Structure 1
Amino acid sequence: MKVIKLASILLISLLGAFFFSACSTDDDTTEVRLAEVTRSIFYAPQYVALSQGFFEEEGLDVELTTTWGGDTTMTTLLSDGADVALVGAETSIYVYAQEANDPAINFAQLTQTDGTFLVSREPIEDFEWDDLKGSTFLGQRAGGMPQMVGEYVLKQNGIDPHEDLEELIQNIDFGNIPSAFASGTGDFVQLFEPQATQFEEDGLGYIIDSFGTQSGNIPYTVYMAKESYLNDNEETVEKFTRAIQKAQVWVQEQPADVVAEAIADYFEDTSLEVIEQVVERYRDQGSYAETPLLQEEAWYLLQEIMNEAGELPQEISYEELVNTDIPTKIMNE
């Protein structure tokens, strides 16, 4: 079973506690160290909260670090190298299943669908999922959330990924998947944005369906903190959540081009036009959560998907790892 290398993570967390601590500046602005699992337009509301000053309005100085991968992100959080992590909710389940003394608690949701798209090498009119049968499919890394959702969606559409495909490729690192497809590997590929839209722009592929719309609502990317941090810094977490909710509302209300301009500095290698297209696509399919509250039904769908993939170590109750008090309080203000 693919689970985060938690023995190492928990050991690092014990050592790291001696070296890191949250702090406040002299002007009473509270510093929050935020680790994001990757840099993605999928997280647009987060960058809006930063660029539009919503964190500052709450008296927070948020230091953003990209930690590139779920394992690294959770190691950073558990070792006190970050106060808050933006990462897939499944990682909190992996940590809890290893009987962590200070588990990671999910307190605010940012994205509520899978963020990948099905891209074909050739244009396909009237696409049906049966078109994948007998093809070479370039999927995401085995054991990760994109791969679990990808296989779940294939099965929901009558495709056995290990029987109906000529070849299922899952051994290519996340960062190398787009270049592998561009160089000729695979008939179909599962891609995040902006690569999917950029491939269409460059004539390298064609977006034919969305894993996000196919999979339903799940807590795909959430903010979490160690239980001890939540207990000791409840007011700070409330302020953080309030800033995120302001950004969530702003992203829903503003035109896509305005949102694109607001986050463009975080994506210097992507054209403003592509950013705008990606924002509009994610928003139209409901990928951006409109509130920070992680829904109970979505929590159990996540575990159903993990179980289907053989990656669920144990079922964890909603109440155990999801804090609803903070987002509910913010939403009712």
Structure 2
Amino acid sequence: MKGLRKYLLLSFITAFTALFISGCSSNDDVDKVRVAEVTRSIFYAPQYVAISEGFFEEEGIEIDLTTTWGGDTTMTTLLANGADVALVGAETSIYVYAQEANDPPINFAALTQTDGTFLVSREPIDNFDWNMLKGSTFLGQRTGGMPQMVGEHVLRKHGIDPRNDLNLIQNIDFGNIPSAFASGTGEFVQLFEPTATQFEIDGIGHIVASFGAESGTVPYTGFMAKKSYIEKNNDVLERFTKALYKAQKWVESSSTEQIAKSIQPFFNDTPLDVIENVVENYKSQGSYATTPRIKEEAWDNLHIIMDQAGELPMTVDFNELVNTEIAEKVTN
């Protein structure tokens, strides 16, 4: 339940200190949709493909994309009408709902369906076994976030008690975790791409396992909007989701080289070959959702992961926070 009070406090402050234009605006039959993404990541490739390949434009939608850097900030932006749609982990909708929000965020489309982190070791390991983590110093992700919760879930899956079988470090800010490992902290670290691949290139670490391949299907990152926005702008979100679905099918059928070239403008500081490698890592393990439909079994798996981590404030019925009608209409 870490960060619950922060969501509400920040949204209250933001609502009274910033002026936002709520809802979508129309101009010559083009609807602008303001999207707040939790971070900029190759993990979200289908979203960038939908923009770069013109799929949103084909549906009469102009995307105003802002990176809000963090689940707390992203949710605050959505709640305070600073965005129409948020791209963020589904767990944040549960946190807000548990605070009895009057206008809760509703998940309506899936983007990623596995965890996006990889286990990186300081030394090369030819025949990795998860038991090698026992007794080690493991630099994990921040407490309360999906990477940390999934990381602990995977460790337990392999018979490792995160609290007693290793030295688990979780007090380093997300942005500083790579530099902490590079500076000598930890024998293992949980990292997102492209940092994991770049560490291999630079000889800092070695990818030995994927948390996404081990986690099972989960609504890891997806699109949500406030209930009131969905009710008033259902047609806009149907077209938004249709464009996303086009991109998902395009990603599924395209080569890693094609995908990398399509999304490269969003990652100017990352070499094309690194983007290709990262896309291949995510695509090969099924991280990119191939349909916007959010599955109930994935929602149940999310509850299990959060509960094991001690971060589940309450059990929330699938139909309470997931709108399936939009995705079903688009994909049928």
Q: How does the TM-score come out when normalised to structure 2?
A: 0.97
Q: Provide the secondary structure at the position in 2 that maps to 1:199.
A: helix
Letter in 2 for 1:43: Y
Quote the offset at 1:12 in angstroms.
4.3
1:125 CA drift (Å): 1.7
Q: 1:202 deviation in Å?
A: 1.0
Inter-partner Cα distance in structure 1 for 2:231 and 2:19? 19
Q: How does 1:222-241 map to 2 (within 5 A)?
A: 222-241=222-241
Q: Deviations over 1:69-100 (max 9, x none)?
A: 00000000000000000000000000100000
Task: Give 3-state SS (helix, strand or coil) of 2:25's partner.
Answer: coil
What is aligned with 2:69? 68
Q: How does 1:31-180 map to 2 (within 5 A)?
A: 31-165=32-166, 167-180=167-180
**Residue deviations 1:118-138 (CA, integer Å, cap 9, x gap):** 000001121111100111100
2:263 maps to what in 1?
263
For 1:6 and 1:210, how far apart are their aligned partners in 2? 30
**Residues 195-274 of structure 1 aligned to structure 2 (within 5 Å):** 195-274=195-274
Structure 2: give runs of 5+ residues left out of the alignment: none
Q: Give the conservation status (yes or no) of the 8 Å contact 1:194–1:274.
A: yes
Q: Distance in 2 between matches of 1:118 and 1:231?
A: 42
Figure out how many residues of one structure are paired with residues of the other and give that number: 331
Structure 1 residue 231 displacement after superposition: 0.1
Contact 2:11 2:77 (8 Å CA) reproduced: no
Is the 8 Å Cα contact of residues 117 and 192 (structure 1) preserved in structure 2?
Answer: yes
For the aligned residues, what is the CA RMSD?
Answer: 1.3
Partners of 1:6 and 1:38 in 2: CA distance: 17
What whole-Å deviation, never above 9, does each CA across 1:275-295 have from its counterpart, x for those lacking one? 001001100000000000000
Separation (CA, whole Å) in 2 of partners of 1:17 and 1:268: 30
Deviation at 1:324, TM superposition (A): 0.4
Alpha-carbon shift at residue 10 of structure 1 (Å): 4.7
Distance 2:130 2:14 in 1: 44
User: Counterpart amino acid of 1:125?
Assistant: D
TM-fit CA distance, 1:28: 1.8
Query: Could you say if the C-alpha distance between residues 23 and 125 of structure 1 is closer, same or farther in structure 2, counting changes exceeding 3 Å?
Result: closer
- Whichever residue aligns with residue 69 of structure 2, its letter is W
Q: Quick one: percent identity of the two aligned structures?
A: 66
Q: Which moved more, 1:150-159 or 1:9-18?
A: 9-18
Distance in 1 between residues matched to 2:149 and 2:96, nearest whole Å: 18
TM-score computed with the length of structure 1 as normaliser: 0.97
Q: Is the contact between residue 16 and residue 80 of structure 1 (CA under 8 Å) also seen in structure 2? A: no
Q: Note the alpha carbon deviations across 1:37-91, whole angstroms, 9 max, x for none.
A: 0000000000000100000000001000000000000000000000000000000
- Matched-pair contact (CA < 8 Å) for 1:6–1:98: no
What is the CA distance between 1:14 and its match in structure 2? 5.4
> Quick check: 2:23–2:229 contact (8 Å CA) kept in 1?
no
Trace 1:245-324 onto structure 2 (pairs within 5 A): 245-324=245-324
Matched to 2:300, the amino acid is Y
- Report the Cα offset of residue 168 of structure 1: 1.1
